[in-house]
Structure 1
Amino acid sequence: MNEATKGILAMIAACTVWGLSALYYKMIAHVPPLEVLSHRTLWSLVFFGVVLAVQGRLGQIGAILRNGRTLGGVALAALMISGNWFLFIFSIQIGHAVEASLGYYIFPLVSVILGAVFLRESLNAFKWVAVALAGVAVTVLTLGLGVPPWISLAIALTFGFYGLIKKQVAAGPVVSVTTEVLLLAPLAGVWLWGVHTQGWTGIAGRTGAAFGSNWHDSLILMVSGPLTALPLILFSYASKRVTMATIGLAQYVNPTLQFLVATLAFHEPFTFWHGLAFPLIWAALALYSAETLRQDRVLRRAAVRAGTSGRTVT
């Protein structure tokens, strides 16, 4: 199995966990989102720390902290993924899981644009049409609902930039992700201190302090560590082995599962305007996928021909 195939499989596994994770966060919807985010950060750090300790690689974190350029990239990635986590948790709590799924549907096409702009990955006319269809879908929702789908757009952009930044960070996936949550941990600790001792409520406007109040909530909050860490490790592993376009292609598993959970399990409303926008997104992804697969077949054939030619004796 080559590295690219390993990357694709890792990406699919990560997206499956993310796609079903809304069911988990719905279980703790009574806990304010910033509190959930803080626990998610700290328990992820614990999980990552154990993984690196077992591997004998905790010392590699210091190498990142001493390298200003790498540390800067990891810090930016930490901000992007933290914002993405918060938006997803918040959308589940306020009953906008459909919008969250739309954001992850848009994300692959955002990745395409970011890859073209920052990494100079080429796009042909078919892929530009796919991006244009996604733009039409967002416009339809904006006009139909009266406001842009801000949650969807913010989720797509934060996750898109996270993938872009991670692709360029010169550090191993587990070590770099551990450093991300390490940088976020002081903020999470301060917030939980304020929640438990000062009664901070945050944007939810309600008190939480769930951890320690009962074993059920405490256990569920602790599970957020491995639930967050495992797919992030897989995503980081994959992002270094596949192109931005391939990352976008594999991401379809995530929003499809999210969409099914939102409509079938949460029974969220699916409006007429959503009924217009989602098929446009699906058509864009189908067009992009078909063109990507066609290009991959062409490249494979060219590689085979080049290999055959190279072995010819004259």
Structure 2
Amino acid sequence: MTETQNAAASATAASASPPASPAGTSARSASAGRAPAGLLFGIGAYGLWGLLPLYFVLLAAAGPVEIVADRVLFALIVCLVLITATRSWRNLAAVFRSGRMFGALALAAALIGVNWLTYTYGVLTGQAIEASLGYFINPIVSVLLGVLVLKERLRPLQWAAVGVGGIAVAVLSVAHGQLPWIALVLALSFGFYGLVKNRIGGAVDAVTSLSAETAILAPVALGAVVWLAATGSLTLLTEGPTHFWLLAASGIITAVPLLFFGAAARRLPMTTVGLLQYIAPMTQFTLAVTVLGEHMPPERWVGFGIVWLALAILTVDMLLSARRRRTSARAAKALAAR
């Protein structure tokens, strides 16, 4: 996410100071007009991701392996349609010709495959609360990966958030009697997925990247479908037309939020996108407790409360950092104007 943060910070800094010309005024007005649309796209992306538990519960007859396999195959169909519509076949071919790029996206595909399978398993086995925890602690894991892998230096509040997050995991482990492995697998797989995509940077657009990742996963997904069919466990064609079309819709349900997210990221400062990301796990958590009826004993409330404290610390640091960047940008522009 670092490159996105840098780009968003630059965009924020560029629009923070008063315009010096009519052209600047026009650009600033255009930027302001993009913000409401960006906010709607962001809410749409994270809102749809937040509603995924309800969708997976409707597909419970299929089981996590078939759901993920069908999701990969139908998402690939949607992506190929988008690639054709945007005339991006040359970009997709370039990915497969580049050994370095293909290797990076193959790793990303493996990570997102593990993430999807783990999340679906969590929801279908009555552990949607723990699954939502994975996405609550994901920002903390991403910060920690920045230190361990990218050798970034954390600010004091970031260190505090990481420490509080560690305490939360310990409390939840004691309360649950074991490590919250679903949450940790989700947080780590998505954290490393983000890291891999960060290293790729802007070399591959979102649609091309998802197309390549689903194409890489497609042979495994197809193999799973064939195996399920051979064992009589495939439900795609045996549970009626509603079940079939719900599974087929997984391609659109996978692609649309990603496109919404890309549209939001191009229009909003990264701080705003960072705040919007909590919509998804909070929605998932609320649905798990209120609609799916999962139990929340007092000790688990304590653990989640500590996680939310860590996220509050991280959010305060993010807002303060964005404010410092804007102040520095104004000072630099004022100095350059002299």
1:138-188 deviation digits (Å, cap 9, x = unpaired): 101111221000000000001111111112223122101100000111111
- The residue type equivalent to 2:173 in the other structure is T
1:73 aligns with 2:99: no
- The residue type equivalent to 2:289 in the other structure is T
> Do the aligned residues in 1 keep the contact of 2:271 with 2:322 (CA within 8 Å)?
no
CA–CA separation in structure 2 for the residues paired with 1:108 and 1:185: 29
Change (3 A) 1:244 1:87: farther
CA–CA separation in structure 1 for the residues paired with 2:176 and 2:138: 21
In structure 2, the partner of 1:107 is: 138
Change (3 A) 1:309 1:244: closer
CA–CA separation in structure 1 for the residues paired with 2:57 and 2:178: 25
Q: What is the 5 A alignment of 1:251-266? A: 251-266=277-292
In structure 2, the partner of 1:296 is: 322
Change (3 A) 1:65 1:55: same
In structure 1, the partner of 2:163 is: 132
Could you tell me how far 1:213 is from its partner in structure 2?
Answer: 4.0
> Do the aligned residues in 2 keep the contact of 1:126 with 1:291 (CA within 8 Å)?
yes
1:65-89 deviation digits (Å, cap 9, x = unpaired): 0100000110000011111101111
Could you tell me how far 1:275 is from its partner in structure 2?
Answer: 1.1
In structure 1, the partner of 2:207 is: 174
> Do the aligned residues in 2 keep the contact of 1:166 with 1:239 (CA within 8 Å)?
no
TM-score by length of 2: 0.83
Q: 2:222 aligns with which of 182, 189, 199?
A: 189
1:144 aligns with 2:175: yes
Change (3 A) 1:146 1:28: same
Q: What is the 5 A alignment of 1:261-276? A: 261-276=287-302
- The residue type equivalent to 1:230 in the other structure is V
- The residue type equivalent to 2:328 in the other structure is A
1:43 aligns with 2:69: no
Say which SS state the counterpart of residue 130 (structure 2) adopts.
Answer: helix
CA–CA separation in structure 2 for the residues paired with 1:248 and 1:78: 23
- The residue type equivalent to 2:134 in the other structure is G
Could you tell me how far 1:234 is from its partner in structure 2?
Answer: 4.4
- The residue type equivalent to 2:336 in the other structure is G
Change (3 A) 1:243 1:85: farther
1:207-247 deviation digits (Å, cap 9, x = unpaired): 34333541011000001101011223445677899999886
1:199 aligns with 2:199: no
Change (3 A) 1:209 1:45: same
CA–CA separation in structure 2 for the residues paired with 1:235 and 1:79: 21
Could you tell me how far 1:296 is from its partner in structure 2?
Answer: 0.9
In structure 2, the partner of 1:26 is: 57
CA–CA separation in structure 1 for the residues paired with 2:102 and 2:160: 37
Larger mean Cα displacement after TM superposition, 243-252 or 130-139: 243-252
CA–CA separation in structure 1 for the residues paired with 2:181 and 2:53: 19
CA–CA separation in structure 2 for the residues paired with 1:185 and 1:293: 40
Change (3 A) 1:104 1:287: same
Say which SS state the counterpart of residue 59 (structure 1) adopts.
Answer: helix
> Do the aligned residues in 2 keep the contact of 1:40 with 1:221 (CA within 8 Å)?
yes
CA–CA separation in structure 1 for the residues paired with 2:90 and 2:182: 38
Q: 1:60 aligns with which of 78, 81, 91?
A: 91
1:121-149 deviation digits (Å, cap 9, x = unpaired): 43111111111111111101111221000
CA–CA separation in structure 2 for the residues paired with 1:46 and 1:113: 36
Q: 1:285 aligns with which of 311, 323, 338?
A: 311
CA–CA separation in structure 2 for the residues paired with 1:239 and 1:70: 23
Could you tell me how far 1:120 is from its partner in structure 2?
Answer: 3.8
1:82-128 deviation digits (Å, cap 9, x = unpaired): 11101111111100000001111010111111223333443111111
Change (3 A) 1:244 1:188: farther
> Do the aligned residues in 1 keep the contact of 2:271 with 2:319 (CA within 8 Å)?
no
Gaps of 5+ in 2: 1-5, 12-33
In structure 1, the partner of 2:3 is: none
TM-score by length of 1: 0.89
Q: Could you tell me the percent identity over the aligned residues?
A: 36
> Do the aligned residues in 1 keep the contact of 2:225 with 2:234 (CA within 8 Å)?
no
Gaps of 5+ in 1: 201-206
In structure 2, the partner of 1:204 is: none
Could you tell me how far 1:59 is from its partner in structure 2?
Answer: 2.6
CA–CA separation in structure 2 for the residues paired with 1:247 and 1:109: 16
- Give the CA RMSD over aligned residues: 2.5
Larger mean Cα displacement after TM superposition, 121-130 or 266-275: 121-130
